[in-house]
Structure 1
Amino acid sequence: MPVRPPRVCSCGKVVPSGERCACQIIRDRERKARFDLTRPSARERGYDGKWQKARAEYLIANPICRYCPAPATVVDHIKPHRRDMRLFWSKSNWQPLCTPCHSSIKQARECRL
């Protein structure tokens, strides 16, 4: 099976195929930290005690992940609510997911939006 050759990063270092340069990892970490400083807290986004209670009830009624047979641990908003409280509380916009599916499949789909 052919292997891709190493590439040259914008910083000038040679990086093996399929790997990321240390400078890219640092830049991403810094970019995410800057974003987190501007992001409202979970409570400000609506994830308070009322949400925790509704979430627990929903997971009891819907115990299996939508994408795989694992137990659901996350109530995901199908369509991102973007602080629209009507959409946030609409149970038709909720789906049960396990943490791995929420962190991989769902996040990959949202990145394409």
Structure 2
Amino acid sequence: MRPPRLCQCGNIVPASIRCTCQQKQDRERKARHDARRPSARQRGYTSEWDKARCEYLAAHPHCRLCAAMGRTTPANVVDHIKPHRGDMRLFWTRANWQPLCTPCHSSAKQKQERDA
């Protein structure tokens, strides 16, 4: 187990925990981002998307990232391999879709995009 660390605000916190000041900064940063971000509907996530998503997951029921590690996990997210960033042609290109489970989409995929 790693020893506690000293936060920039002066608080001593366990090594694996974010300080309350860091949590507050995270919330504020996310709120600023969300305020500028278009709604899900404006980004293309409509009832038409819901239908296409269900069809895709029926045809591709297992998480691609888990499968690469030898695990069989049900997929419940259709991820855009290359972020579409509002490009509706790329949004609807099925070759740009991959089935993921929520943990992989929320962690591994997000890390990949941050590192890119």
Could you tell me the TM-score, scaled by structure 2's length? Answer: 0.88
Distance apart, 1:33 and its partner CA: 1.0
Provide the C-alpha distance between the structure 2 equivalents of 1:67 and 1:17, rounded to a whole number of angstroms.
28
Residue 101 (structure 2) aligns with: 98
Aligned residues: 111
Provide the C-alpha distance between the structure 2 equivalents of 1:67 and 1:77, rounded to a whole number of angstroms.
13
Per-residue CA deviation, residues 54-87 of structure 1 (Å, 9 max, x unaligned), is 1111111111110221111111000000001111
RMSD: 1.3
Provide the C-alpha distance between the structure 2 equivalents of 1:99 and 1:7, rounded to a whole number of angstroms.
31
Is 1:110 aligned to 2:113, yes or no? yes
Is 1:36 aligned to 2:34, yes or no? yes
Residue 34 of structure 2: SS of its match in structure 1?
helix
Q: Which runs of 5+ in 2 are unaligned?
A: 67-71
Percent of pairs with identical residues: 66
Give the 3 Å change call, closer, same or farther, for CA 60–5 of structure 1 in structure 2: closer
Distance apart, 1:5 and its partner CA: 4.1
Alignment of 1:1-113 (within 5 A): 4-68=2-66, 69-113=72-116
Q: Which amino acid aligns with 2:83?
A: P
Per-residue CA deviation, residues 13-44 of structure 1 (Å, 9 max, x unaligned), is 22232322111111111111111111100000
Q: Which runs of 5+ in 1 are unaligned?
A: none
Q: Which amino acid aligns with 1:25?
A: Q
